[in-house]
Amino acid sequence: MDRRFWIAREDEIKKGETTDIYFIRTVNILKNDNLDRTKVSMEITTGELPYGFSWGVLSGVYEVIKLLEGIDLDLYILDEGTLFKPYTDNGLRTPIGFIVGEYGKFAIYETPLLGLLCQSSGVSTYAAHLRYNAWDKILLAFGARRMHPAVTPLTDYASYIGGFDGVSAILSANLMGLKPMGTMPHALIIIYGDQVKAWRAFDKYVEKDVPRIALIDTFYDEKVEAVKAAEALKDRLYGVRLDTPGSRRGDIKKIIDEVRWELDIRGYKDVKIFLSGGVDLDLIKTLADSPVDGFGVGSSVSNARIIDFALDIVEKEGTPIAKRGKFSGTKLLFRCPKCYRYIAVRWRVGSEEPKPRCPRCNIYMENLMVKAIEGGEVKIEFKKPQEIRRYVVGQLEKIRELGWGD
């Protein structure tokens, strides 16, 4: 093997070398019969969401645009971070985007294109549902250790734009212009052999702008160690982290209540409580009203189930055509800014843009589809992760007002 790790290089992805062999064969077959220049429109949709979710958050759009940039095609797609439902309110599989061009020019990119959207959107969607249920509690992405390091920046980016407050992996944080956020490992405490010595060493040697979050489940009961940490670091202690092993976990909600009580009656009301280890959506829902201030989430978010997007021909030489189970014809996706009703509207590329009104609110709906690539040239400005995250959280605030569930 010509490399250290079983990963594709950027140039190999960009050249479509990770694609499925049947696309190479298909293009060659079509070239033999001069059909590779058939002009098609191919639509991206998904029919269902994992975990029974009723809405998802799209991510991977930046990478899809970078993948297709320079290929002679047009790409219409939703903005990164757009909240969507699998089916529109007028009953169609929600069109996430579509490509217009000669099939032979981009056929091989179907595989990497879907891969970029499926995994990233799976993570951003799960992260958004964690944010939606944790609401104003702190969410830190600790999942770098759970996936292949090649995708650490990807899963952390998708967690962050989905609503997380920070990530612990330094490369991910640097790429997003963030400061990495983490605490301390059990190894630090075990090597000192004494919690207080380890906490004090952390406080002595770590940059002053790093919050002092003491890990308090190494040797003794969490409430005992929490008090010891507060008494050791006093007002410099920002928080305590419970990473309680499964063998001791029991009713973690009651353990958190005890820790909160013992800290409060000793005057440490400002010390925050963080929980990590096995944190997932169900646990966050269970602890929504508990005094826990934040969560370090690993496996459940970085390893979130993918969203099963598909890419299908919906027009051939301008004529609507689709396989069974799909809706033919290129469409635009509209959303009512007031009630968040979504409708897909048939639109022939180049014709006048429809201006539908919401059937419920009787106001103009917003066209969510943007022309991101024209003739291979990128036509949009890429937003920073912080701006995308604000867009996502703003949509979560909207659906919260509307009383949506998960």
Positions that interact with ligand PCP (CB under 6 A): 142, 146, 185-186, 243, 276-279, 296-299
Under 8 Å between Cβ of 147 and 128 = no
C-alpha triplet 61, 64, 69: angle, nearest 5°: 125
Minimum gap (Å) between residue 279 Cβ and ligand PCP: 5
- Nearer CB in complex with ligand PCP: 99/147: 147
Length of the chain: 406
Minimum gap (Å) between residue 213 Cβ and ligand PCP: 11
8-state DSSP, 92: S
CA–centroid distance for 216 within its chain? 30
Q: Is 2 exposed, middle or buried (0-12, 13-18, 19+ CB in 10 A)?
A: exposed
Minimum gap (Å) between residue 146 Cβ and ligand PCP: 5
- Nearer CB in complex with ligand PCP: 255/369: 255
Our CA dihedral for 349, 366, 126, 330, rounded to 10 degrees, sits at: -20
Nearest residue relative to ligand PCP (C-beta): 298
Pairing of strands 237-242, 212-215: parallel
In sequence order, what are the residues at sequence separation of 6 or more whose Cβ sits closer than 8 angstroms to the Cβ of residue 81?
57, 58, 59, 124, 161, 388, 389, 391, 392, 395
- Nearer CB in complex with ligand PCP: 18/299: 299
Residue 85 dihedral angles phi and psi, to the nearest 5°? -110, 155
Amino acid at position 403, single letter: G
H/E stretch holding 105: helix 103-106
Minimum gap (Å) between residue 18 Cβ and ligand PCP: 27
- Nearer CB in complex with ligand PCP: 119/276: 276
8-state DSSP, 225: H
- Nearer CB in complex with ligand PCP: 222/315: 222
Minimum gap (Å) between residue 216 Cβ and ligand PCP: 12
8-state DSSP, 339: T
Minimum gap (Å) between residue 159 Cβ and ligand PCP: 12
Minimum gap (Å) between residue 275 Cβ and ligand PCP: 10
- Nearer CB in complex with ligand PCP: 186/390: 186
Minimum gap (Å) between residue 150 Cβ and ligand PCP: 18
- Nearer CB in complex with ligand PCP: 189/368: 189
354: its two tokens: 């429809």
35: its two tokens: 């059909």
| C-alpha to C-alpha distance for 197 and 92, rounded to whole angstroms | 61
- Nearer CB in complex with ligand PCP: 212/341: 212
C-beta atoms surrounding 40 within 10 Å: 22
